[in-house]
Each structure stands twice: as structure tokens, then as C-alpha cells.
Amino acid sequence: MQTNLVRAVLVAAALALPTTPVHAQKDIPAKESAPDVPDAIAVPSGFEPVLFVHASGSQIYTCAAGTDGKFAWTLKAPEADLKDRKDKVIGQHSAGPSWTLKDGSQVTGKAAAHVDSLDSESVPWLLVDVTTNSGKGALANVTKIQRVHTHGGMPPDYGCDASHKGDETNSKYTADYYFFAPAK
């Protein structure tokens, strides 16, 4: 009788053990969660976040005359490293705007909506519609991007006039980018 009880306890304990070896479980990436954002830049239902990166770099501005003839700093391009959650550089953010990963995948996009950053001296939070995809990596199926948690990146409010036409300035910034693909 006691042998059957011990056997039953051992079987129950074995059934409670995970079927994936513990060393393999730590290599499984956690599923991304969408950030909490204002409705104006929320990703519509039917999409899921597939990648998170933290960008660190510069927003590059050029001094140019607007259609009204007034001079102002105009965004030329971002230039930033893209890092994963372990702070490893996995790609670049550049003109287009485009996001290129070391796995060979790339997307370009166009801003679809924005809201002011919580920090008034930082670039806005964005919802970006992807216009082109290339490569077979992590960005292959991405169709939406959110830029959130921005810090810095605004152009200076001085130094751009006719005598500085064509001048460039870099403004340091950081931001988090979430990449979304259609839900499976």
C-alpha cells in the first residue's frame, strides 16, 4: 500500500514538471506587450507587438525657409542605434524614416498620427504606417510602429535665419519603438 502511495506521489510530481528543459525555457523570448498610449496613436485591434527596441542617437535638423519664407529648423533625418532589452545593438534608425536590423530586415514608414510627449522638450510620440518591408527577419511582417517614451530630440529655438540657411544641428534623443504585425 505504501509503495503505491509513493508511486502515485512520484507520478503526480513528474506530471507537474515542465516539459521543456529549464535551460531551454530561459532562451524563449517573452511575448511583447503593447505600451499604454493615448487613443490618437493606438494601434487598431488585429495587430500584435512583435518587437521592442530602444533608440539612442540624434535627430538631425537643417535650417531652411518654409513656404511662408520664414526660416526654421526642419527635420532631415534620425540617426540612432536600436538596442534590444539586453542593451545589445541590433540595428539602426535612419532617413526614410527607416529601421534596419542586423538580421537583414528593414522597414520604412510614414507618420500617421502623433501626440505631444509627456516631456514638453521632447519629440512627439508617433504612430507610423509602414510603407515598405524588405528582408525575412523580425521586421518582415511589420505594418505599424509606435514611438513612445521620448526624451530630447527637439530642434533649438534659435540660430536659424537667412545667414544660417543650410546649416545642420543634431539634437540628442532616446525613444522606445514598438513594431506591430497582423495578429496570427
Burial of 69 (0-12, 13-18, 19+ CB in 10 A): exposed
State which amino acid sits at residue 90: I
Number of residues that this document lists for the chain? 184
Q: What is the pLDDT of residues 141-158, one digit of tens each?
A: 999 999 999 999 999 999
Is the pTM for the entire model greater than 0.75?
A: yes
- Could you tell me the CA-to-CA distances from 43 to 99, 178, 182 in Å, in that order? 18, 10, 11
Secondary structure element (H or E) that encloses residue 7, with its range: helix 2-16
Q: What is the DSSP letter of 87?
A: S
Residue 167 in this model has a pLDDT that exceeds 70:
yes
Instruction: Give residue 29's pLDDT.
Output: 53
Instruction: Give residue 19's pLDDT.
Output: 44
d(CA 140, CA 92): 16
Q: Where are the beta strands (DSSP E) in the chain?
A: 47-65, 71-83, 89-94, 98-101, 106-115, 125-134, 144-152, 168-182
